[in-house]
């Protein structure tokens, strides 16, 4: 268990991309850490990150083959070699397919499945339970986002990822997918995010007030929620952007600052070159982190997890 670290400082350029190249598993995927089993989440992010680099084409091709092989018959993608069930990570795959311009029958089925997937808190049983024993979380359960796993409640992070993916799919594929369904679902989910916003202007995992007590926001979920609201709710996100900028200046979490960088770049509030003032930690063995950091430093002005100009409504950084 006490594994030796892999040197991630391999050269003067793109050390993170080299780290990702070196840590790809034999099946074409990536684990969360070197030598661990492949999971869909780090595999999608590593694939997106390496897609920036033409020299990584062989690695990207192998990863793409694995992701295609993980398509599930009904909809979605399995989340690891042994877990053949679709969950929130299917949104990440939709984003990847949109980035690659792939709109096949599986993608269309999965968009339909995403439209139909809602948080269980709005269902009959949940509402009946809440009527008997009032829920101590103060939020509007009629506003359903997306759950981490089907048949559970909506939370901020999976909802943000689903909005980002469906917005991107809508812009990329237009009428080839169920645009009306996508738009209605995004509207509901955006309102859910706004309803779950914490008193300090940011977001945590999705509980703003529990048992008469306001809960604080977190930096990473604040960044993700803002990315989810980027396309249609920019005006309503203004106060939250100030919270995100505060987090950018003060957060010690490398993962949070990586998401904040992507978020603030997409809102035109940060340049590619700017580094977080407070983030701690040296070279990391965290593959997911390395991939997200790479995306935050992507050369395109609109980072790959952000939105095309036409949707973001922005003309310059």
Partner 1 sequence: MKKTMDRRKFLPLAGAGLATGYAAIHRGQEKPSGPRTASSVAILKAASYEQDLLDHIIRGLSECGLRVKGKNVLLKPNLVEFSADTCINTDPRVVAAAVEAFERLGAAEVIIGEGPGHRRDTLDVAEQASYFSAIPQFERRFVDLNRDDVSFVKHFVDSSGIYLANTAVRADLIVSMPKLKTHHWSGVTASMKNYFGVVPGAVYGWPKNQLHFFGITPSILALNRILGRKSFAIVDGIVGMEGNGPIQGTPKHCGVLIFGSDLVAVDASCCRVMGVDPNGLSYLTGAADGNLATEWIEQRGERIENVSQNFALIKEFAHLRKS
Q: Is 239 in the site for partner 1 (CB under 8 A)?
A: no
Comparing CB distances to partner 1, the nearer of 24 and 56 is 24
Residues 150-209 that bind partner 1 (CB under 8 A): 151-153, 155, 157-158, 204-205
User: CA-to-CA distance for 57 and 142, rounded, in angstroms?
Assistant: 45
Q: Is 82 in the site for partner 1 (CB under 8 A)?
A: yes
- b/e per residue 218-248 (b: at least 16 CB within 10 A): bbbbbbbbbbbbbbbbeeebeebbebbbebb
Q: Please name the residues in contact with 173: beta carbons below 8 A apart, sequence gap of 6 or more.
A: 98, 103, 107
Binding residues for partner 1, rule CB under 8 A, total 44
- Minimum Å gap between C-beta 83 and partner 1 is 7
- Rounded CA Rg of the chain: 19
- Minimum Å gap between C-beta 114 and partner 1 is 16
- Minimum Å gap between C-beta 53 and partner 1 is 25
User: CA-to-CA distance for 298 and 289, rounded, in angstroms?
Assistant: 14
Which one of 1, 128, 131, 299 is in contact with partner 1 (CB under 8 A)? Answer: 1
Contact 187, 163 (CB under 8 A): no
Comparing CB distances to partner 1, the nearer of 142 and 280 is 280
Comparing CB distances to partner 1, the nearer of 268 and 283 is 283
Q: Is 21 in the site for partner 1 (CB under 8 A)?
A: no
Q: Is 128 in the site for partner 1 (CB under 8 A)?
A: no
Residues 25-44 that bind partner 1 (CB under 8 A): 31-33, 36-37, 39, 41
Comparing CB distances to partner 1, the nearer of 217 and 240 is 217
User: CA-to-CA distance for 45 and 17, rounded, in angstroms?
Assistant: 11
Q: x-or-dash pattern for partner 1, window 274-293, by CB under 8 A? A: ------xx----x-x-----
Terminal alpha carbon distance of the chain: 45
In 168-216, the DSSP E strands lie at: 209-210, 213-214
User: CA-to-CA distance for 283 and 202, rounded, in angstroms?
Assistant: 28
User: CA-to-CA distance for 50 and 248, rounded, in angstroms?
Assistant: 25
Q: Given 3-state DSSP classes, what are the helix, strand and coil percentages for the chain, each rounded to the nearest 5? A: 50, 5, 45
Of 48-56, 103-111, 215-223, 301-309: span binding partner 1 (CB under 8 A): 215-223
Residues that bind partner 1 (CB under 8 A): 1-2, 31-33, 36-37, 39, 41, 79-80, 82-83, 87-88, 120, 133, 136, 147-149, 151-153, 155, 157-158, 204-205, 210-211, 213, 215, 218, 220, 252-256, 280-281, 286, 288
């Amino acid at each position: 268990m006490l594994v030796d670290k892999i040197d991630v400082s391999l050269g003067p350029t793109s050390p993170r991309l080299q780290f990702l190249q070196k840590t790809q598993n034999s099946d074409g995927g990536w684990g969360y850490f070197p030598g661990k089993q492949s999971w869909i989440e780090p595999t999608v992010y590593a694939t997106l990150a390496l897609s920036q680099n033409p020299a990584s084409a062989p690695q990207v091709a192998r990863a793409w083959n694995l992701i295609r092989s993980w398509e599930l018959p009904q909809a979605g993608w399995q989340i690891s070699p042994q877990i053949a069930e679709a969950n929130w990570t299917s949104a990440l795959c939709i984003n990847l397919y949109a980035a690659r311009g792939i709109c096949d029958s599986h993608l269309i089925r999965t968009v339909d499945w995403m439209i139909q997937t809602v948080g269980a808190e709005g269902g009959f049983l949940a509402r009946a339970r809440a009527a008997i024993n009032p829920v101590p979380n103060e939020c509007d359960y009629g506003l359903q986002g997306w759950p981490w796993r089907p048949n559970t409640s909506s939370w901020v992070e999976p909802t943000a990822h689903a909005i980002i993916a469906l917005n991107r799919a809508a812009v990329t594929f237009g009428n080839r997918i169920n645009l009306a369904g996508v738009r209605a679902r995004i509207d509901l989910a955006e309102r859910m995010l706004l309803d779950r916003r914490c008193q300090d202007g940011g977001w945590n995992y999705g509980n703003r007030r529990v048992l008469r007590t306001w809960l604080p926001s977190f930096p990473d979920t604040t960044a993700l929620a803002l990315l989810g609201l980027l396309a249609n709710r920019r005006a309503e996100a203004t106060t939250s952007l100030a919270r995100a900028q505060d987090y950018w200046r003060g957060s010690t979490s490398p993962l949070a600052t990586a998401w904040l960088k992507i978020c603030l770049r997409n809102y035109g509030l940060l340049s590619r070159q700017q580094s977080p003032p407070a983030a701690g930690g040296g070279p990391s063995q965290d593959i997911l982190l390395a991939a997200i950091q790479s995306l935050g430093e992507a050369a395109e002005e609109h980072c790959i997890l952000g939105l095309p100009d036409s949707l973001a409504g922005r003309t310059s950084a």
